[in-house]
Amino acid sequence: MTDPNPAAVPDHVPDLVLVTGGSGFLGAHCVLALLQSGYRVRTTIRTPARAADVRAQLAAGGVDDPGDRLEFAIADLTSDAGWAEAVAGCRFVLHVASPFPSRQPKDPDELIVPARDGALRVLRAARDAAVERVVLTSSFAAIGYGHEPTDRAFTEEDWTELDSGRPVSPYAQSKTIAERAAWDFVAQNGARTDGAALQLATVNPVGILGPVLGPDISSSVELIRLVKEGRLPRLPDVSFGIVDVRDVAALHLLAMTRPEAAGQRFLAIAGEVMKAQEVALLIRGHLGDQAGRRVSTRLMPQWMLRAAAPFSRRVRESLPELGTVRRASAEKARTVLGWSPRTREEAVLATVDTLPTYHPRHR
């Protein structure tokens, strides 16, 4: 299938791009998209051993030997060490790395501090190295939470409301605080030593699915795995947006290269939201009679979830989402950047088809 979002291939000595968190689900796809588009890539990893994981994922994606167009830097979001070396010589930075737990921590600062401080470390290093533009991977979590229920679609003009009194998860808090801190930094401290201003753009995806290249998976992919393996005998009445990881990577490249993307946020979603039951029905039909038999499409009654809440923190965390629909619009990415995502169904089934090869572990 032809990629609907081909990136511009450099027509000169390839620019060097830093991707933070290249061993993660989205990070690996960003590295892959950059290499396939002719760029040189440096990616941060926390330990040297993770280099093999990155190379294995690239091979699974079709890039067996990137040669000298791929290099690694050791850096961690919680430390200043290594970031100056990581950004040296880079024209662009894709800051993808961020904590994304399978469960919400009791203390929100466990997510907020590394997300916010990590983003500021990357921006500070990028500014000092005269990087042209940073594309920050934010999230719909920084847009659509803490609001009164509404039927309208959220856009890039919206921000998650942290002081509304409505429940906002630690993860959504961390993404909101980190993105706001990034915009504030660029506005107040973004002047580079050469007199130019550091540019910032953000990509705000909903739940990311798509081809699994290795064992590091997102929480969204973990949900698909549980449904496919029949480990959710009853489904919660929840709805969520879906976007393919390949299209999120493509949007990062568009936000990196297009002049009109500077200073802008771009929401990434493929079509309307899907209910968990719709996703299960799609997976069941795709797997066929034999393999699909174990996929449950039955809903869990709300009374049952509420009864289980005192005994399960994960269930308690899901209660505010029951019956809630948060719609979102990617019209800006489509019209401003010409972004054209795959369908939500393609994203779900690409996940299903690539999961069996691996033994997943969370980032």
- The reply to whether 195 falls in a domain is yes
- The reply to whether 120 falls in a domain is yes
| Domains: count for the chain | 1
As to burial, measured by CB atoms within 10 angstroms (0-12 exposed, 13-18 middle, 19+ buried), residue 359 is: exposed
Alpha helices in 129-232 (DSSP H): 170-189, 219-228
- The reply to whether 7 falls in a domain is no
User: What per-residue confidence (pLDDT) applies to 1?
Assistant: 44
Residues 6+ apart with CB under 8 A from 257: 7, 8, 92
The boundaries of the domain holding residue 52 are 16-362
Which residues are catalytically annotated?
A: 175
- The reply to whether 182 falls in a domain is yes
Asked if residue 242 lies in contact with residue 205, where contact means CB atoms within 8 angstroms, the answer is no
CATH number for the domain spanning 111: value is: 3.40.50.720
User: What per-residue confidence (pLDDT) applies to 29?
Assistant: 98
- The reply to whether 212 falls in a domain is yes
User: What per-residue confidence (pLDDT) applies to 102?
Assistant: 54
- The reply to whether 358 falls in a domain is yes
User: What per-residue confidence (pLDDT) applies to 217?
Assistant: 82
- The reply to whether 1 falls in a domain is no
What is the 8-class DSSP label of residue 46? S
User: What per-residue confidence (pLDDT) applies to 310?
Assistant: 60
pLDDT averaged over 10-residue windows placed end to end, the chain, 363 residues? 54 87 96 98 96 96 95 96 97 89 74 95 98 98 95 97 92 96 98 95 97 88 92 88 98 98 98 95 95 91 63 56 85 98 98 75 52
- The reply to whether 2 falls in a domain is no
If you write DSSP's letter for every residue of 269-322 in order, what string do you get? Answer: --SS-EEHHHHHHHHHHHHHHHHHTT---PBPPHHHHHHHGGG-HHHHHHGGGT
